[in-house]
Amino acid sequence: MPRLVRFVFAAVLLGPLSALSPAAWAQVQPHRAEYALRLGAAANAPRIGTAVHDLSQDCAGWHLKRDIKTEIALTTSWRMSLASKMDGDEPRNGNGFRFSTLQTQNGSQREIKGRVQRKAGETRVEIIVDGSPPNQFVLPPPTLMPVSAIDHLIQQLQANAASFPALMFDGEVIDDAFLIDVTEQDRAQLRAARPADNPVTMPAAKSWPVFMTFTRGRQQDQRPLFTVSALVFDNGVLDRLTVETGLLSVTADLEALEMRPAPVCPRP
């Protein structure tokens, strides 16, 4: 259950298994998005928290911050308080990712620090949890980092790819690679906007409803851990997320959006 709530944003930053050109950065735009989290997809589903996705950019690369806070009433006397904060940096060429994540469950904290580096065709990972000895392993070569991954997702949708597989490194849920199967949905299948939500002014952008299943990327023939549906805009903004586990669902709806200008940088 704790992983499900943190997964709402981690799961949608993804990329296909095909190769990515290091210079493919044309689509995603810097922005700050605020979301309301609710337990279930019903129009009157109870609100259980908030999430902030903050993506900034300079000429060195991308800076990603996520702040998720939830409180779930499992029974009248039992509440679960969950929080996750992540700070990450991804260079312009998409060949690495450094991050730190602080997770809190009912007051108990867990800190994860990680480094991913692609060099000479090999993608190596080092993960340290609460100061423990480093866990080191190698990811499949096509694994993409968070920002370059969603950028390539948009490119695949723009190219009318109706379905495709994906590998994405995740630094919030499993600290490893997810294998994702992505399918473009019919727009009629997308969860409707909640009547009580205040409409958010969106910049002119094309969007695609997508459905995704997630399994562990370094293991084969595993049952999906989650499924996710979302509305993906061509500027990298996400809305109407729904995460399904088979037992329950958590939804995220856009409440506020600030688009930011991209820096003018020399070509890499």
Q: Which domain holds residue 20?
A: 2-259
Q: Is 213 contained in some domain?
A: yes
Burial 83-103 (b: 16+ CB within 10 A, else e): bbbbbbebbbbbbbbbbebeb
pLDDT at 268: 63
Structure confidence at residue 220 as a pLDDT band (50, 70, 90): low
pLDDT at 8: 44
Q: Which of 55, 168, 190, 63 is closest to 116 using CA atoms?
A: 168
Q: Is 117 contained in some domain?
A: yes
Instruction: Work out how many domains the chain is built from and give that number.
Output: 1
Q: Is 29 contained in some domain?
A: yes
Q: Residue 128 to residues 94, 95, 146: CA-CA distances in angstroms?
A: 22, 20, 19
Q: Is 266 contained in some domain?
A: no
Q: Is 264 contained in some domain?
A: no
Mean pLDDT of the chain: 84
- pLDDT tens string 51-101: 999 999 999 999 999 999 998 877 777 788 889 999 999 998 899 999 999
- pLDDT tens string 149-193: 888 889 899 999 989 888 889 888 888 888 888 999 999 988 888
